Structure 1
């Protein structure tokens, strides 16, 4: 059996929304389990799906059909769909099957007036803020899908996914380049962000590092820099910047547009309220040659 692609699932739900009925006028506070369905390929950003151990633990906390947190649901035109709360939903189903509790209901929070794209954005936002948040790779993939759908401003995409505005600019520029090469949105949406980057590089990325390998390399380089320079790096940033420029005239230009640097800018903005990027007139991702090249 051929599995459904993300693009096909999104198109199917768009069709439901167009052909289906309006949301019931009475907004429910709870719903029978059989009245809720799941579309994980669209709304579950976790690559590994639900964790059985986590589901088992949550099911132990279900007491008379009550959980502290609600399940976020969206009306597709043909039924209620889980937007966030897949682990809680699985825990309810486990309890119902294990204890034979027919008619068990789940507390829900309804997304009112949301389009499909907006519901997908909510799923990304809620998952990025959970106690057990999604990985950075999963956040990047969620942001990539929304960019392929042409949803949201840079600021909104940052708020929804947790990815820096600088990286959003990089991703949008890459999407534009791939579209100019006649790559279809359907194909691009079905890719991970990493695969899209590799397609853009046309095999020029040597070696092709995974996010895990990149992080391990960054940790190793960080330790080497600390051993070689220690506190001097923090105390004399101008000297460090000049040293980097001596290594490569274009390296500072590329660093300031890297994802890691933009994360630092975003954190500084949250702490001080000062937007260094705006003050310096820096716009990442606007030039084909300026994307981060990890």
Structure 2
């Protein structure tokens, strides 16, 4: 469900995975540098690039008031700061200036507006992390402040996407969170991945829920990822029982798994080989 506050979308965290998957598909990006664009040429991916979630959702009236103040600036004939845009494929996406864009729309602005395109050679997850970083820049005027939870969630998303591509201090500076918090985020990401939590779910969690998820996993397993693996294996074995009762051959089972998830058979072979090596070292 999409909710608007003062013409600005409140990011729906459950939509982030879909948005990320769509943007990841773009591998060739624009290199031109327009200084003005029509409103219809600027796309919004608020699920990723609007970091002010709780700042809007849990502060009724703040967003509307901010848009109204910017609208008064437009009525006086004064210019608003350029909105920041980046390209994914052939399209321009807004990464900073959501309230300014909402103000133009509320004023039924029909002329091109000032834009500031930013370019990068990055692609995939690294490009998304870079764009999230741009969305957190706080260099302009008339900004709506972010809540502490929004800043932490933004840092969490950057940590999930960028891994070690950004230093802890870089993430800390961009998101205005403590370096020690970024270090804790890296630790939690690593541990949750060991428990089998994949990227889409990691991103949806947010920082507060990620900490709770890790605690739940550790409580269930006594704190070890190997115990969790064994528990998951037992659960999967029960779910596979109806399939195994049809007595498929090994090749048939492998073909079925490969059809369901291409590459999984090779991953299984590599995992078994690694386990055999570990056993040989004992």
TM-score, reference length from structure 2: 0.63
Residue by residue, what CA displacement relative to the aligned partner does 1:5-38 show, whole Å, maximum 9, x if unpaired? 21221120111x22x5x4153x111111111111
Residue matched to 1:94? 106
Alignment check: 8 A CA contact 1:127 1:133 kept: no
Residue matched to 2:195? 181
Change (3 A) 1:129 1:52: closer
Residue matched to 1:11? 21
Alignment check: 8 A CA contact 1:84 1:127 kept: no
Give, in whole Å, the separation in 2 of the partners of 1:68 and 1:95.
Answer: 13
- Name stretches of at least 5 consecutive residues in structure 2 with no aligned partner: 3-11, 122-126, 220-282
Correspondent of 1:35 among 31, 38, 41 = 41
Give, in whole Å, the separation in 1 of the partners of 2:24 and 2:206.
Answer: 22
Task: Report how far residue 42 of structure 1 moved.
Answer: 0.9
Count of aligned pairs: 196
Residue by residue, what CA displacement relative to the aligned partner does 1:63-113 show, whole Å, maximum 9, x if unpaired? 5875241100111113111100000000000101xxxx5x32211111122
- Aligned pairs for 1:129-278 within 5 A: 131-149=143-161, 150=163, 151-202=165-216
- Aligned pairs for 1:42-81 within 5 A: 42-47=48-53, 48=56, 51-63=63-75, 67-81=79-93
Secondary structure in 2 aligned to 1:191? helix
Residue by residue, what CA displacement relative to the aligned partner does 1:239-261 show, whole Å, maximum 9, x if unpaired? xxxxxxxxxxxxxxxxxxxxxxx
Secondary structure in 1 aligned to 2:137? helix
Change (3 A) 1:37 1:62: same
Matched, 1:104 2:111: yes
Task: Report how far residue 39 of structure 1 moved.
Answer: 0.9
Change (3 A) 1:31 1:76: same
Alignment check: 8 A CA contact 1:72 1:110 kept: yes
Give, in whole Å, the separation in 2 of the partners of 1:132 and 1:117.
Answer: 22
Alignment check: 8 A CA contact 2:84 2:95 kept: yes
After TM superposition, the structure 1 stretch with the greater mean CA deviation from structure 2, 126-135 or 40-49, is 126-135
Give, in whole Å, the separation in 2 of the partners of 1:53 and 1:130.
Answer: 12
Change (3 A) 1:10 1:66: farther
Give, in whole Å, the separation in 1 of the partners of 2:168 and 2:141.
Answer: 18
Alignment check: 8 A CA contact 2:81 2:140 kept: no
Secondary structure in 2 aligned to 1:62? helix
TM-score, reference length from structure 1: 0.60
